[in-house]
Amino acid sequence: MNNGPLLFLGLFVTMACSWLSFVMGPQLQMGDMRPTTNIVVGASGQIYPHPEPGTAHQGAEVYRANGCAACHTQQVRPRDLGSDIDRGWGVRRSTAYDYLYDQPVMLGSQRVGPDLANVGKRMDTISILLHLYEPRTITTNSIMPPFPFLFEKRKIQGVPSADALRLPAPFTPTPGYEIVPRPAALSLAAYVASLHQDGYLFEAPPPLRAPGGTNTPASAPAPAAAPTNSPAK
Amino acid sequence: MSVTASPAQTAPRPSPQSVRTDIEVSCRLPLLGLFGSGVLWLLLGLLFALIATLKFHNPRFLSSEAYWTYGRMHAAHTTALLYGFGVQTALGVGLWLLCRLGRAPLAAPGVVLVGIALWNTAVTIGLIAILCGDSTGFESFEMPAYVSAMLFVSYLLIALCGVLTFHRRAEGNLYPSQWFVLGSFFWFPWIFSTTSMLLLCLPVRGVMQSSVAWWYAHNFSSIFLGFAGLASIFYFIPKLMNRPLHSYYLAAMAFWTLALFGSWGGIPGGAPLPSWIISLGVVGTVLTTVPLLAVAANLFHTVRHDLNALDNHLTLRFTYVALVFWLLAGVQQIVGVLPDVSALTDYTWFTVAHWELFHYGFFAFAMFGAIYYIVPRLLDWVNPPMWSPGLVKCHFWLTFVGILISYLALLVGGVGQGFLLANPKYSFAQVMMSTLMALRAGTPGDLFIIIGTIFFLLNFALLLLRWGFRYWVENSGGLRKERL
């Protein structure tokens, strides 16, 4: 191997193998994916996924800017790989369809915090806001850092603001003051509340059998994650 | 295809002295710039990592300002480490190996200097952007679109000078290190331009983005940084042992199989992608057993005659440790993609442990070994100034022990986290609390690595001062003689 151009040619070919199989191939298969009507359970003719409202899009920018994906994944693995479904993080595995409207797609690679693929089904906007301001109001011993810079501590002038957080005992602000979410917090909460992956798709049908070989149908793992058959709200 | 012997045997040739002086003079400023700024970025990146780690001791630590959020610190840490330290030292060592093995002075050192200045400016802007919340959201590719063109151009300015140097080489035979250097020089612009195009300029739809981002991150580390580190290992181990490389053909096999299979992978097992892509990644990663065994057999056969020599030369010590860590990281990666294992270890600290071992254990050690050898010879080849041996020893042991502590803590924490997560009986909060202990135990390791890096920088500054003083005395002495 003493020929420079030949070495470059070899490198080009090996590199091209990798590029063709991990960039070109997937792009040919998934590049022009469109929302599908091929829903297994639920009314026929419905389309999945739906674009989310504008505030949720703004919230995704806050999610990206603060690197939330460093600790939170947004992908439910199939039942034979890990306990994601049994933990109630989703009723079916995540598929490529679930991310069609995401920009950027932030699947994450670390589970320092729980998976958020379906967090919108588990938490409402108010508890999400409380959790962002001080995670320990919702989960005692939470190791998530608080995000006080998304909120404003201000003096109550006249009538207290309707948006002000209703904080439980040890976290209440000094009397005469209130904690009001800034626009970034509101849109982030709207984004987190919008996170859900539903609609049983052809490639991710509802679980028929519980793992372990029993023939009993799988019961819903957690009440909060009860399967919704219709993708439309 | 003729067999090239070790670099040690390629010494006697017409006027090697003048070639060495040419290399010394042409490489001096560019390489000092690349190594000096690279290690400064490493220190900065480590400090960001420390801030991030301290949040596991107290989540409220530095939480009042958006700049110091965990997510931003994490992104800033990887960016400073990969782009500030990784790319620059890989380029520096690569340029030097191309000069040295090709017996040619560095082509257009002025252009390289411009490239270095541009690269550092771009990384600075990118890092500030990340701290201000302008990161792209893709792991290992966090710098925003407006610096990616600048990064690409400045990389090309530096790497093309390397290719030009290679083209002008006086030595026709190629040594394995040269393949590895050229491979890494060639890989980066391809993956970087593809990823910039498909993620930032004309974003692809949906999970295609994740597919591209995973492919990029995997290739950046395994191939770009991996080849640069291996080039240094393949050069310094035979050279400083004063023995020919055991087998040229085994090295060629390792190179091509690693280029082919090492570039597949990096996708977690349960990702929402068509399963053929995931399977292809698993197959590729498992097949990297071949280059792993080839490199191990080749280099262990080279060193086995004289294991004591490893202690005698500090470059050799760093390089050998880097080789062992590369093999360990490779084994961990192969074990980690096996479907039964990845169901447990994906998304846990297990993968972070691999990341630490590969980047700090293998790559940084290989680069430091090379820097300890190269820098004195840049200043004065005939009579190279000496490093302070005490500081070198401190640097080696602090970094070595630091990596072991933080790696083992993450590994144990990650495996434990994996087993607990697999069992839905344990709530997520319980799982987190149980891994917290391991995470906290790793913090002293991070501190040791930081202190070690500070010792290195101190030693670097002292070396430059010593050389500057000698240079000044010699030159002013000369002036005085002329006046007399």
Q: What is the pLDDT of residues B435-466, one digit of tens each?
A: 999 899 999 999 999 999 999 999 999 999 99
Q: How confident is the model at residue A15 (pLDDT cuts 50, 70, 90)?
A: very high
How far off is chain B from A162, nearest CA to CA, in Å? 24
Is the minimum CB–CB distance between A181 and chain B shorter than 8 Å?
no
- For the cut 90, the answer to whether the pLDDT of residue B223 exceeds it is yes
**Residue B336: Cβ-neighbour burial (10 angstroms; 0-12, 13-18, 19+):** buried
Class for the domain spanning A54-222: mainly alpha
Q: Are A180 and A120 in contact (CB under 8 A)?
A: no
Q: How far apart are CA A181 and CA A127, in angstroms?
A: 12
Q: Which residue of A has its CA nearest to B76?
A: A67
Query: pLDDT per residue over A161-215, tens digit each?
Result: 888 999 988 888 888 899 999 999 999 999 999 999 887 787 787 766 555 444 4
* Cβ(B310)–Cβ(B317) below 8 Å: yes
Examine the pLDDT at A43 and tell me if it is beyond 60. no
Which chain A residues have a beta carbon less than 8 Å from that of B71? 66-71
B9-26 pLDDT, tens digit each: 444 454 777 888 888 889
Residues of B with Cβ-Cβ distance to A218 under 8 angstroms: none
CA end-to-end span of chain B? 59
Q: A146 in helix, strand or coil? A: coil
Residue B441 burial by CB count (10 A; 0-12/13-18/19+): exposed, middle or buried? middle
Percentage of chain B modeled with pLDDT above 70: 95
CA distance A33 to chain B (A): 8
DSSP class of residue B313 equals -
Q: What is the pLDDT of residue A225?
A: 39
Taking Cα atoms as reference points, which of A153, A148, A87 lies closest to residue A116? A87
Instruction: Look at B64 and A66 and tell me if their CB atoms are within 8 Å.
Output: no
Alpha helices in B143-288 (DSSP H): 145-167, 176-195, 208-219, 226-241, 248-261, 275-287
Average pLDDT of A34-55? 77
Q: Which of B109, B324, B111, B291 is nearest to B183 (CA)?
A: B291
Residue A233 has pLDDT above 50, yes or no: no
Domain-by-domain residue ranges, chain A? Answer: 54-222
Mean pLDDT of chain B: 91
Give the confidence band of A62 by pLDDT, cuts at 50, 70, 90: very high
Rounded to whole angstroms, how far apart are CA atoms B63 and A135?
A: 12
CATH architecture of the domain covering B15-475: Up-down Bundle (1.20)
Mutation choice for A interface testing from B210, B283, B287, B355 by most A CBs within 10 A: B210
Choice between B2 and A157, residue whose per-residue pLDDT is larger: A157
Question: Which residues from chain B sit within 8 angstroms of residue A29, using beta carbons?
Answer: 274
Q: Which residue of A has its CA nearest to B192?
A: A19
Contacts for B8 with CB less than 8 Å, ≥ 6 apart: B238, B239, B242, B243, B244
B199 contacts chain A (CB < 8 A): yes
**Residue B56 pLDDT greater than 80, yes or no:** yes
Which of B166, B205, B215 comes nearest A100 by C-beta? B205
Q: How confident is the model at residue A45 (pLDDT cuts 50, 70, 90)?
A: low
Range in A45-59, B190-204, B398-412 the model is least confident about: A45-59
Provide the token pair at A216.
């009993």
The first and second tokens of residue B137, run together, are 């959201």
Residue A231: what pLDDT? 40
pLDDT value of residue B371: 96
Chain segment B137-160, per-residue pLDDT in tens: 999 999 999 999 999 999 999 999
CB neighbours of residue B17 within 10 Å: 10
Whole-number pLDDT of residue B80:
97
- The string of pLDDT tens digits covering residues A98-142 is 999 998 999 999 999 999 999 999 999 999 999 999 999 998 889
As a whole number, mean pLDDT of residues B259-287 equals 93
Rounded average pLDDT over B215-233:
96
Q: What is the distance in angstroms between the Cα of B391 and the nearest Cα belonging to chain A?
A: 36
- Identify the band that residue A42 occupies on the pLDDT scale cut at 50, 70 and 90: low
Mean pLDDT value across chain A: 84
Alpha-carbon torsion (A107, A111, A112, A113), positive or negative: positive
ipTM (interface predicted TM): 0.90
Q: How much is the average pLDDT of A155-159?
A: 89
Provide the chain B residues 312-331 that lie in CB contact (below 8 A) with chain A. Answer: none
Q: Mind telling me how many Å the CA of B220 is from chain A's nearest CA?
A: 12
Q: Determine the average pLDDT of the residues in B269-289.
A: 93
For residue B51, how many other CB atoms are within 10 A of its CB?
18
Query: What mean pLDDT do residues B288-314 have?
Result: 87
Q: What is the pLDDT of residue A44?
A: 59
pLDDT interval class at B2 (50, 70, 90): very low
Among B1, B264, B269, the residue with its CB nearest the CB of A22 is B264
- B406 in Cβ contact with B449 (< 8 Å): yes
Check residue A49 and give its pLDDT.
Answer: 86
The confidence score (pLDDT) of residue A207 equals 67
CA distance B374 to A74: 46
The pLDDT of residue B69 is 94
User: Side chain identity at A190, as an amino acid letter?
Assistant: A
Q: With an 8 Å Cβ cutoff, is B273 touching chain A? A: yes
Decide: helix, strand or coil at residue A198.
Answer: coil
Number of neighbouring beta carbons within 10 Å of residue B301: 14
Phi, psi of A9 (to 5 degrees): -65, -45
* Nearest chain B residue (CA) to A26: B208
Mean pLDDT for the stretch of residues B272-279:
92
Q: Which helix (H) or strand (E) holds B256?
A: helix B248-261
Per the CB < 8 A criterion, the answer to whether A45 and A199 are in contact is no
Query: Residue B213's closest CA among A58, A104, A63, A93?
Result: A104
Confidence of residue A223 (pLDDT cuts 50, 70, 90): very low
Q: Mind giving me the DSSP string for B94-132?
A: HHHHHHHHHT-PPS-HHHHHHHHHHHHHHHHHHHHHHHT
Tell me how far apart the alpha carbons of residues B375 and B384 are, in angstroms, rounded to a whole number: 9
Q: What is the mean pLDDT of residues B230-258?
A: 93
> What percent of chain B stands above pLDDT 90?
79
B201 CB within 8 Å of a chain A CB: no
Q: Which of A9, A15, A21, A22 to mutate to test the interface with B (most CBs of B within 10 A)?
A: A22
Using a CB-CB cut-off of 8 Å, the residues of chain A touching B433 are 141, 143
